[in-house]
Amino acid sequence: QVQLVESGGGLVQSGGSLRLSCAASGNIFSIYSMGWFRQAPGKQRELVATITSGGSTNYAGAVEGRFTISRDNAKNTVYLQMNSLKPEDTAVYYCNAAQFPSLNYWGQGTQVTVSS
């Protein structure tokens, strides 16, 4: 069992930055792959970025070069640094912990709003 709590969302102007945090409680956090997903009103949830237990990262094309995912296993926390934000980044951002092939945990989400 893993419990996830996101924080750091808010309102920012176009071109600004935000840093999201996801704090995890539970056992063997370090073996999980971690990810950030987002969902805008009227749209499906989409993958933003992932990081494996070994530190390998993957990004959606829409955010690559602007967002950076990282993890601190000692703090049981995963981060998403978001730079050069655009209005189309506006969404609820969700933290995810996964272990192949079928184990998944989700946070409650944090709102990110980018004004134009």
pLDDT tens-place string over residues 48-62: 999 999 999 999 999
The fraction of the chain above a pLDDT of 90, given in percent, is 84
Task: For 53-101, write each residue's pLDDT tens digit.
Answer: 999 999 999 999 999 999 998 899 999 999 999 999 999 999 999 988 8
Kind of pairing between the strands at 18-26 and 33-39: unpaired
- Copy the structure tokens of residue 116: 């134009």
DSSP state for residue 43 in the 8-state scheme: S
Count, residues in the chain: 116
- The pLDDT-based confidence of 28 (bands split at 50, 70, 90) is low
CA distances from 104 to 34, 37, 62, 90 (A): 10, 13, 24, 24
Among 41, 38, 50, CA closest to 85: 38
Cβ-Cβ contacts under 8 Å for 49 (sequence gap 6 or more): 35, 36, 57, 58, 59, 60, 63, 67, 68, 69, 80
Side-chain-side CA neighbours of residue 108 (13 Å): 7
